[in-house]
Structure 1
């Protein structure tokens, strides 16, 4: 195997030239997602509060949700899941994303905006599903391509609902996508944290027995699927209570899984604690969202713990980890990630306190979020300026051994 790898990277091998003509998806989509995160949340908050007329597409809750979920979040998903691609195909995919963002911001009801958004998510699904499905053997691993394709289908459904005038569907789809992204974070975040924490314990001379925790992971998948399906049925009490119970169970299982990783035993790895903070926000957000559903109020506040806290923290740290490995830098030197993680946590608290005095606290929360991603973008630029030639796809994924445990 080592000899084969050496031959593939030799200058004279034809596969070497083929690999050099391919670019990893993260190298384009992570900077795009980061730059958009800096802009879109403050712009949306300012538009919703009537502080600017520059972005009318973002002045509604649906417009805000559309760009945070199908703009920012889906760009991160693309960067994380796309492997090395031919340059023209990657440029086409990224170009469609840019056109979709510009068209939605300028003319959200136009056919151009709908067509560009549909084309982007459709092409993304066509790229992701065959690649991931061929590698998925266990039923738990098959959940990943199913979740991704469902998110893409939801993006198409959102566009069609806007143009067909189905207001109910237009409001229901973003909630379903948040729950789908929560499931994706439970799955992928769990795999990444389990693998990296296990390696660190090994380096410290110890052993982490509870890694992926397949029974808990299976329970998380089942609970979240129940929650997603129940949330789609209607708002009548039995379905709302079923969704509430399922999300509370998922949050509790995520908290148990997090505790079993024994993160307090790590030495000198603040970067892993930053990842764990995102997973903790996810567990807390799911439990609070389930409680809010059962109570019939505060659902929006609980959803923002998932989107701002969990999604913001996990995406920022995964993007930073990927670029750190690409630049062959020590991931434990994580001052930027610590500062950005603290900023996002502060943004969550400000967003939750916004019920007391909405306008200033919403503005403060959005600017703090934006500042966290400014730090990340500066981090990207600095790493890129001094990075040596690296492999097209840094090893940020879990090994086959970790997938089976």
Structure 2
């Protein structure tokens, strides 16, 4: 084909499955939908478990099951939906769709079934089924990044590798010593570093776009050496926290990281875009990362219950940011207006409230069941509202856009 003829070709559509089910036309569709469904169901099962109504997790135990399904069940689905949408944007290559996407989703789904009742297959086989998903996602993303020669995205692959290793270590610990604390911290740190890396791309970008559209001229600070230093400090503090979660030095590292990332968040000037909640929620999610650093520091110094501090990072940072990205990306890729309506804003509010209520257990432990139930109910409300508003476009609305490189996943 001649160069002239090639230049007259129609743009390649973003979604490959133009004649198949809409749900399999792009990675964000099945995985965001699954994340919303599992966010509701897994939390409902956990509340029922702590209330003494049902047993989950078999011989692995209910607490282990809950920790795993929040870190590697719900969160891995949200992450997969984002990466399978963002990586093609970064590399300029076609997204995974159709049968390959279905196969990857079924691996994730098989993990949920296997771990719900791990004794059916025997625990060792159940954990092997679950452990296959993140390495498969890593291979897919690594193939796209290397084929597209997007070497700056190798740090995203490194965090995904850490998550894969954390899941395997989690299962090993659950089957042997029963102490899942270290692999849990490794997973939380990997997610938070991904938020620091990717958030540094999308938060100032979306903020700048909104500010420019509304005729303002005060933009977020551009990416600079300060951002690289901030990520390096976060990496160092998390590395210390993973292996030595308590002590003066760990607390000092985490406090420094919290202060540096507070400055980073301030440099993005989110207050100028506060009128659009679709943008503001991204700043709020990053704000929970700042709070999470300080909460972990307080726990390291013995000033706060470590489990409650963990929930600032899990519910606050990971929960809020994944919900924010899922709503923004779904609207952008299904042709919905880039504006957060009442249902979306209520979902954001419920998630933020859950993130604030759950750590209160550290201060009033006698109300453990009531606070855990309240936080869980708020979490479920957030995702129930997400499903109410976004399940229909995820399942039915097809938007054919010219495929082009971009800086983010939405």
CA drift of 1:55 comes to 5.4
TM-score, normalised relative to structure 1: 0.86
Matched with 1:94 is: 105
Matched with 2:132 is: 119
CA drift of 1:57 comes to 6.6
Which one of the candidate residues 212, 216, 231 is aligned to 1:202? 212
* C-alpha distance in 2 between matches for 1:241 and 1:319: 37
SS in 1 for 2:53: coil
CA contact (8 A) 1:309 1:345 kept: yes
Structure 2 residue 254 is the aligned partner of structure 1 residue 247: yes
Structure 2 residue 106 is the aligned partner of structure 1 residue 104: no
* C-alpha distance in 2 between matches for 1:330 and 1:58: 45
Range that drifts further, 173-182 or 387-396: 387-396
CA drift of 1:395 comes to 8.2
* C-alpha distance in 1 between matches for 2:406 and 2:312: 25
Q: Which has the higher contact order (CA 8 A, sep 6+)?
A: 2
Matched with 2:53 is: 51
Structure 2 residue 312 is the aligned partner of structure 1 residue 311: no
CA gap of 1:209–1:268, structure 2 versus 1, over 3 A, is closer
Structure 2 residue 375 is the aligned partner of structure 1 residue 352: no
CA drift of 1:269 comes to 1.6
Range that drifts further, 66-75 or 151-160: 151-160
* C-alpha distance in 2 between matches for 1:6 and 1:20: 23
Alignment of 1:2-401 (within 5 A): 7-9=9-11, 23-53=25-55, 56=58, 59-83=61-85, 84-107=95-118, 110-133=123-146, 134-138=148-152, 141-163=153-175, 165-168=176-179, 170-234=180-244, 240-266=247-273, 268-295=275-302, 297-355=304-362, 356=364, 357-384=367-394, 387-391=397-401, 397-398=407-408
* C-alpha distance in 1 between matches for 2:33 and 2:283: 23
CA contact (8 A) 1:44 1:55 kept: no
CA drift of 1:254 comes to 1.9
CA contact (8 A) 1:224 1:250 kept: yes
Give the RMSD, CA atoms, in angstroms. Answer: 3.1
CA drift of 1:374 comes to 0.4
SS in 1 for 2:96: strand
CA drift of 1:18 comes to 8.4
Deviations 1:172-209 (A, max 9, x none): 10011111111111121231111111111222333455
CA contact (8 A) 2:230 2:257 kept: yes
* C-alpha distance in 2 between matches for 1:96 and 1:18: 20
CA contact (8 A) 1:23 1:392 kept: no
Deviations 1:232-277 (A, max 9, x none): 4346x6xx43432232222222211221222222374221112211
* C-alpha distance in 1 between matches for 2:299 and 2:8: 56
* C-alpha distance in 2 between matches for 1:393 and 1:336: 30
CA contact (8 A) 1:274 1:317 kept: yes
Range that drifts further, 289-298 or 86-95: 289-298
Unaligned residue ranges in structure 1 (runs of 5+): 400-405
CA contact (8 A) 1:8 1:16 kept: no
* C-alpha distance in 2 between matches for 1:305 and 1:380: 26
Matched with 1:403 is: none
* C-alpha distance in 2 between matches for 1:297 and 1:10: 53
CA contact (8 A) 1:336 1:379 kept: yes
CA drift of 1:152 comes to 1.2
CA contact (8 A) 2:17 2:25 kept: no
CA drift of 1:221 comes to 2.1
* C-alpha distance in 2 between matches for 1:278 and 1:388: 29
SS in 2 for 1:92: helix
